[in-house]
Amino acid sequence: MTAHPVPAVSPGSAQGAATLIFNAGAGGSSHSSPEALAEALHHAGYRPVYRATDGEADLRAALADVSGPVFVAGGDGTVRAAALHLAGRADVTLGIIPMGTANNVARTLGIAGDPQAVIAAYAGAQAAPFDLGRVTAPWGQDVFLEALGCGLFAEVMAAYDPQQGKSPLRAVGALGEVMRAFTPPPLTLTLDGVAQPPLDCLLLEVMNTPATGPRLPLCSGADPGDGLLNVVRVDARDGEGLLTYAAALAAGDFAQLPSVTSTPARCTEIPYCGQPFHVDGEVRPARPDTFGVVRVEVWAAALRVLVPAVEGG
């Protein structure tokens, strides 16, 4: 991420008061505790208040009246849940303590490693703007941090159903099921008011961060601080095959494949013919016989996020 810093948070001032949100169900939570994280934040110069949250209602209540830094310990799902309550609030700054599996949002900000080391780096943190994607669709209103998309990835997610819990075996089964039946739909997108040539989209992703899902690096150039979203399309007619795509993703050069196009845009309109979509890690199921438009707009600087100090920087 290209950070555009604004005045640094000063833990020694009144801004030192902070809120800690901790997800006990995150992947790395067994190696830490809210008490240990609160103590680390105290050593970094903050005065943390831990607010226990066991569900959406608790989270909404915990964040309703907060101000200043809000530290969220958990994975991308926890970060998303908190961010949706903090978006558009200029008096709040989000600090991420990554404890999940993919940690796509944290990695975009250069945040990785042991929670104690991450927190120590927040002692000299600066705040930077973080865009979001705002969606109007036949299923309703949505907001995303990482990406929204339809096509192969969304179809696999819908078949896999993340609400049933994580399972590599189910993931393989979902991929096989989709590959047997999926026919890429012809889509005519509109980007910033300009209609694009029709395309049989094997994959369509509107990206805010470089990676989404299980760390799929679909758009290395995506920058959530630039006021733009990146529309990534894979043309099924020039498809290189799954093994080629997998190798390119592993090597980090997916965008260089001939069938892949990435275009920055502020507003994207996607024809909707009932296909499933994903919004970050959530699925919006297929709605057969429903037609319309999925409109995606960038919500520039919707969040303020803390970017930890880099040693020697």
145 and 294 co-located in one domain: yes
Read off the tokens for 255: 């965008």
Residue 292 pLDDT level (bands cut at 50, 70, 90): very high
> Does the residue 235 lie in any domain?
yes
Give burial (CB, 10 Å; 0-12/13-18/19+) of 7: exposed
> Does the residue 313 lie in any domain?
no
> Does the residue 272 lie in any domain?
yes
> Does the residue 218 lie in any domain?
yes
Q: CA-CA distance, 105 to 91, in Å (whole number)?
A: 21
213 and 177 co-located in one domain: yes
What is the predicted pLDDT for the residue at 223? 97
Give the structural domain span for 93: 14-130+302-307
91 and 238 co-located in one domain: no
141 and 121 co-located in one domain: no
Read off the tokens for 89: 């609030």
What is the predicted pLDDT for the residue at 10? 43
- Kindly tell me the sign of the dihedral angle through the C-alpha atoms of 46, 51, 56, 58: negative
> Does the residue 32 lie in any domain?
yes
> Does the residue 5 lie in any domain?
no
162 and 190 co-located in one domain: yes
- Kindly tell me the sign of the dihedral angle through the C-alpha atoms of 267, 268, 274, 280: negative
What is the predicted pLDDT for the residue at 13? 40
What is the predicted pLDDT for the residue at 185? 84
User: Once rounded to an integer, what is the mean pLDDT over residues 153-178?
Assistant: 83
Q: How many CB atoms lie within 10 A of CB 73?
A: 28
35 and 142 co-located in one domain: no
73 and 88 co-located in one domain: yes
Half-sphere exposure of 306 (CA within 13 A, CB side): 29
Choice among 17-31, 74-88, 208-222 with the minimum mean pLDDT: 17-31
Beta strand residue intervals within the chain, DSSP E: 17-22, 47-50, 68-74, 92-98, 126-137, 140-144, 147-151, 186-187, 190-191, 194-195, 199-207, 229-235, 260-265, 267-272, 277-279, 282-284, 292-307
83-120, pLDDT tens digit by residue?
A: 999 999 999 999 999 998 899 999 999 999 999 999 99
CB 218 within 8 A of CB 229: no
119 and 140 co-located in one domain: no
> Does the residue 63 lie in any domain?
yes
42 and 191 co-located in one domain: no
> Does the residue 281 lie in any domain?
yes
- Mean pLDDT, all residues of the chain: 89
Question: What DSSP letter does each residue of 135-182 carry, written as one string?
Answer: EEETTEEEEESSEEEEEHHHHHHHHH-GGG---HHHHHHHHHHHHHH-
CATH of residue 40's domain is: 3.40.50.10330
CATH of residue 179's domain is: 2.60.200.40
124 and 198 co-located in one domain: no
97 and 139 co-located in one domain: no
29-81, pLDDT tens digit by residue?
A: 556 789 999 999 999 999 999 988 888 898 999 999 999 999 999 999 999 99
Q: What is the domain count for the chain? A: 2
Give burial (CB, 10 Å; 0-12/13-18/19+) of 94: buried
139 and 252 co-located in one domain: yes
